Amino acid sequence: MHQSNPAARWKFAWGPASRAAVRFLVLVGLLGMAAGAARADDVVVGEFSFDTYNPGATDAFTVTNFTGDDNLGFFPVLDNVTFEDINVTYTDSTAGTTPSVGLGDLTPDDVSTQSPQVLASDMYSQAVFQATLSQTIFSLSDGTTFQADSSTVTFTLSPSSPPSLQADTDFGLISVSGSVITPPVPEPPASLLLLGGMVCLLGLKRAKSAGCFENF
């Protein structure tokens, strides 16, 4: 299910009040990574979490896009990047299966998607998010430009308290690896070099005419 109402973004990103404070503190602790993304050669683009969907009945894996219009003012990517062809694979320890579910695309305007929904009574040992980025070159909030190493982004969500994921507790930031694009230093045009040389020669000629070199 895609959530298209930006005002409801907090419901999906931070979840119920019981987890809001914990997530907020953890995210604040990760702000250094987000703000200094270029220096660390990683850029945060989203969040992948395991959340309550229908209390007592179903939980869901939530994907949130933290780029462009939904970067919340402190995540680094200024461009609107779409997560294309999202695929979530999760391990159901109770059923002994590893389903893989395609979720389509997720833009910053869509904000987040809570899918697939799974039985709250089952245990899940991990979940893997994978998608293709709509672009690999991003404008960052610090004024630099970042180029991702690959258009494919993958993130594995593991239990904070093994062996199973805990709804409304386990989440992580999706990041991509790459490097800052350093603009080349422009070389002075040949005409400017020629003009500079002529000025120097003219200056030397005038100095010689004025007798500046008679004592040498």
33-71 tens-digit pLDDT: 555 444 458 999 999 999 999 999 999 999 999 999 999
Q: What is the pTM of this model?
A: 0.73
Q: Within 10 Å of residue 89's Cβ, how many Cβ atoms?
A: 16
d(CA 199, CA 68): 50
Residue 38, judged by CB atoms within 10 A of its CB (0-12, 13-18, 19+), counts as buried
Domain ranges of the chain: 2-181, 184-216
Residue 147 and residue 137 in contact, taking contact as beta carbons nearer than 8 Å: yes
Report the run of H or E that residue 27 belongs to, with start and end.
Answer: helix 17-29
In this prediction, residue 74 carries a pLDDT of 85
In this prediction, residue 216 carries a pLDDT of 47
The dihedral formed by the CA atoms of 104, 106, 109 and 113, expressed in degrees to the nearest 10? 90
Residues 81-103: pLDDT tens digits? 999 999 999 999 999 999 999 99
d(CA 195, CA 193): 5
10-residue mean pLDDT profile of the chain (216 residues): values are: 43 45 55 50 94 97 95 93 98 97 95 92 98 97 95 97 96 95 64 59 60 54
In this prediction, residue 41 carries a pLDDT of 86
